Amino acid sequence: MPIVMQQKSDFHNRYDIIARIGKGQFSTVYEAAEKATNEHWAGKVVINKTDALPPPLETELAILAHLDHPQTVRLKEVFNSDDVCIIVQELVNGGELFERISEQGVFSEKYANKFFRDLLLVVKYLHEQGIVHRDLKPENIMLSDQSEEAVLKLIDFGASKFAQHDKAINGVRGTPPYMAPEIFAYQSYGKPVDMWSLGVILYVILSGMFPYDPEERRFDCPFISPEFDEISESAQDILLKLMEINPEKRYTVDQALEHPWVTGEKASSAEMS
């Protein structure tokens, strides 16, 4: 889909701002009602004081326009003026995975399992398209609604890149607690960095804690007591495969999808409850 840039004034002619619904490192997101249809959308407002779109924003828009998957946020249209860029996207109503974790505390393995499989499936789609998200974390994973049956939707392709191979990307980007060791080591990297982030996310949703302190540059995956006492060996095994320091040995998304904890093959019903 080619992206047509419209003027900010057109945005205000066509939409009413309803409420501020989110804030990220680089943007503020508003719920906006389209006057003609009364449909509600999410307007991501990114400060852009340059005439041309800066390359990361251009890439974010190109990737959003490219994506076509039920679990990636849908792009509607873009407005750009000399001070801001407004990205109108599908409104995702169920809040951030981050909020669900804060409200609910840790997830049971059964619940975590369902979310994680959904997460792997959408990352598989991205990786097949040659896209590395680079900022996978609970703040960038939304839920479609408030119910237990909610589906995951990935948002925020602001750090994402098209990467032809696993050493295609350079530069320190992402969110430190979720960033792979090779990013901190200033090496070239690719898709495996997303798999590392998925490992950290899974660790956090199962235990309520971060596995390591990025400040200390120690990237081990400790299974401490009592948080891990009740967590199955199979779950611990996939965590170790995802939080493998060597990106060449780290599980790919296809390997993760075949792991017994994900397929449910070897895990006993006691372990999965």
d(CA 176, CA 185): 12
Burial of 25 (0-12, 13-18, 19+ CB in 10 A): exposed
Q: Which of 16, 51, 135, 237 is catalytic?
A: 135
140 binds ligand ADP (CB under 6 A): yes
Smallest gap from residue 29 Cβ to ligand ADP (A): 4
Closer of 113 and 140 to Mg ion (Cβ): 140
42 binds ligand ADP (CB under 6 A): yes
Please report, as residue ranges, which positions from 54 to 93 form the binding site for ligand ADP (by CB under 6 A): 73, 89-92
Smallest gap from residue 158 Cβ to Mg ion (A): 7
Among 53, 64, 96, 201, binds ligand ADP (CB under 6 A): 96
Among 31, 156, 182, 244, binds Mg ion (CB under 5 A): 156
Under 8 Å between Cβ of 71 and 122: yes
Smallest gap from residue 270 Cβ to ligand ADP (A): 36
24 binds Mg ion (CB under 5 A): yes
Under 8 Å between Cβ of 142 and 155: yes
Binding annotation: 44
135 noted as active-site residue: yes
d(CA 33, CA 16): 5
Task: Give residues with Cβ within 8 angstroms of 201, minimum separation 6.
Answer: 119, 136, 137, 138, 141, 178
Treating both helix axes as pointing N-terminal to C-terminal, what angle do 192-207 and 97-104 enclose, rounded to 10 degrees? 20
Smallest gap from residue 73 Cβ to Mg ion (A): 11
Binding annotation for ATP: 44
197 binds ligand ADP (CB under 6 A): no
Closer of 142 and 267 to Mg ion (Cβ): 142
Closer of 197 and 232 to ligand ADP (Cβ): 197
Among 11, 15, 22, 48, binds ligand ADP (CB under 6 A): 22
Residue with tokens 């251009």: 58
Residue with tokens 């804060």: 102
26 binds ligand ADP (CB under 6 A): yes
95 binds Mg ion (CB under 5 A): no
d(CA 127, CA 192): 10
Smallest gap from residue 235 Cβ to ligand ADP (A): 26
List residues bridging with 143 in a β-sheet.
152
Under 8 Å between Cβ of 217 and 206: no
143-179 in b/e form (b: 16+ CB < 10 A) is bbeeeeebbbbbbbbbbbbebeebeebeeebbbeebb
Sites of contact with ligand ADP (CB under 6 A): 21-27, 29, 42, 44, 73, 89-92, 96, 139-140, 142, 155-156, 158
Sites of contact with Mg ion (CB under 5 A): 24, 140, 156
Q: Which residues are marked as active site?
A: 135
